[in-house]
């Protein structure tokens, strides 16, 4: 824009000042985002998300979750709720054994289609 009058100059100055305020607000917002992302808890959380997003890890996590859930259900069905320390120990043992076996079986099931084809 050609500045020919004092009024034109004032308009350009107002536009530049508005632009400055807008850009300054963007800089502050980016700084706050950066500050938030550099908090230790967010660094760990983001690293965990990136790690779990890998297909190999995702399959392993799913397998373990299914195994643990099956072990927990088996313990509740067989042992139930008890205050007896021996039964609690046996329930925990049963839970781990079932979880381990289910996890191994799921891994075995994943491998079968590759061999069949």
What local confidence, expressed as pLDDT, does residue 85 receive? 86
Please give the Cα distance from 83 to 73 (Å, whole number). 18
Contact 24, 18 (CB under 8 A): no
Query: Which of 63-67, 83-87, 94-98 bottoms out in mean pLDDT, i.e. has the lowest?
Result: 63-67
On the question of pLDDT at 16 being above 60, the answer is: yes
Residue 5 DSSP label: S
pTM: 0.43
pLDDT one-digit tens code per residue, 20-35 = 999 999 999 999 999 9
| CB-count burial class (<10 Å; 0-12, 13-18, 19+) for 16 | exposed
The model's pLDDT over 64-79, given as tens digits with 9 standing for 90+, comes to: 788 888 888 888 888 8
Torsion-angle region of residue 80: left (phi > 0), alpha (psi -120 to 50) or beta? left
Q: What average pLDDT is seen over the chain?
A: 82
Asked which of 22-26, 48-52, 100-104 is least confident by mean pLDDT, the reply is: 48-52
Provide the token pair at 96: 């781990």
């Amino acid at each position: 824009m050609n500045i020919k009058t004092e009024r034109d100059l004032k308009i350009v100055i107002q536009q530049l000042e508005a632009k400055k305020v807008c850009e300054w607000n963007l800089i502050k917002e980016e700084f706050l985002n950066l500050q938030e992302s550099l908090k230790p808890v967010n660094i760990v959380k983001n690293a965990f998300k990136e790690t779990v997003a890998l297909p190999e890890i995702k399959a392993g996590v799913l397998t373990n979750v299914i195994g643990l859930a099956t072990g927990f259900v088996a313990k509740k069905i067989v042992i139930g709720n008890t205050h007896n320390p021996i039964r609690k120990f046996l329930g925990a043992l049963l839970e781990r054994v079932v979880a381990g076996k289910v996890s191994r079986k799921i891994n075995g099931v994943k491998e079968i289609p590759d061999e069949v084809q």
